[in-house]
């Protein structure tokens, strides 16, 4: 999984967890939801998220940091819209729409 997907996963998990805790434990857990929302807002403005360096230290790589020589293979999303998928070892992530197989340029 890529860094971008981990960010979405952790954000969604914290929101769902805080809503459940607010419902069954204490309403003050909604402050966690407020924190996630504020963090999403500031990361949209600054292009920085506190979780990124932590995930980087754990070895999670960004979509943009794809190693040289990987190919993009066409596939379909659930809705039937064409998309490409990048194969990285066993992991698969989506790439911009296009039907041909192509090399990913090195950064």
Give the tens place of pLDDT for each residue, 22-61.
999 999 999 999 999 999 999 999 999 999 999 989 998 8
Give the tens place of pLDDT for each residue, 61-79.
888 775 654 544 444 445 5
pTM tops 0.95:
no
Domain ranges of the chain: 3-57, 66-98
Give strand pairing partners of 94: 85
């Amino acid at each position: 999984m890529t860094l971008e997907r981990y960010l979405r996963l952790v954000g969604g998990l914290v929101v769902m967890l805080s809503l459940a805790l607010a419902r069954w434990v204490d309403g003050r857990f909604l402050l966690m939801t407020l924190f996630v929302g504020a963090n999403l807002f500031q990361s949209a403005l600054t292009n920085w998220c506190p979780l990124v360096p932590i995930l980087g230290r754990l070895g999670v790589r960004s979509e943009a940091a794809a190693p040289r020589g990987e190919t993009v293979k066409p596939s379909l999303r659930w809705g039937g819209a064409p998309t490409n998928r990048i194969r990285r070892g066993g992991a698969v992530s989506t790439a911009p729409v296009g039907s041909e197989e192509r090399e990913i340029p090195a950064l």
